[in-house]
């Protein structure tokens, strides 16, 4: 993030930059904004909210999760992401 955001701002000055991945508290949010991002994307942070369209079982698994329970998913080359290692996701290949 510390290299990418400034590089993107320099290369594409008119483009809105949204920082994502690993932003779950105020410190990374603040860092992203200081570095020049216009905003952030913090999906996992809100996945357990009442409004999130996922099962209650998955919400509870996220709430109870610990560091190291994620894996890098390259199933979609255009959208690699970290996914929670959960038996439901593994079983259904989500």
Q: pLDDT (tens digit, 9 = 90+) per residue, 7-24? A: 999 999 999 999 988 787
4-11 and 26-35 helices, crossing angle to 10°: 30
- Give residue limits of the domains in the chain: 1-46, 53-94
Distance CA 69, CA 84 (A): 6
- Asked if pLDDT for residue 44 goes beyond 60, the answer is yes
Q: For the residues of 46-91, what is the DSSP string, one character each?
A: HTTSTT--S-HHHHHHHHH--TT-EEEE-SSTTS-EEEE--HHHHH
Beta bridge partners of 70: 84
pLDDT (0 to 100) of residue 30: 94
CB 63 within 8 A of CB 44: no
pTM of the entire structure? 0.56
pLDDT at 48: 82
């Amino acid at each position: 993030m510390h290299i990418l955001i400034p590089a993107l701002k320099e290369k594409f000055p008119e483009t809105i930059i949204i920082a994502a991945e690993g932003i779950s508290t105020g410190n990374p949010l603040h860092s992203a904004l200081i570095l020049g991002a216009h905003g952030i994307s913090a999906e996992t942070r809100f996945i357990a909210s009442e409004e999130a369209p996922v099962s209650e079982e998955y919400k509870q698994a996220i709430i109870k999760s610990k560091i190291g329970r994620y894996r890098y998913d390259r199933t979609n080359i255009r959208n690699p992401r970290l996914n929670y290692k959960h038996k439901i996701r593994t079983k259904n290949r989500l």
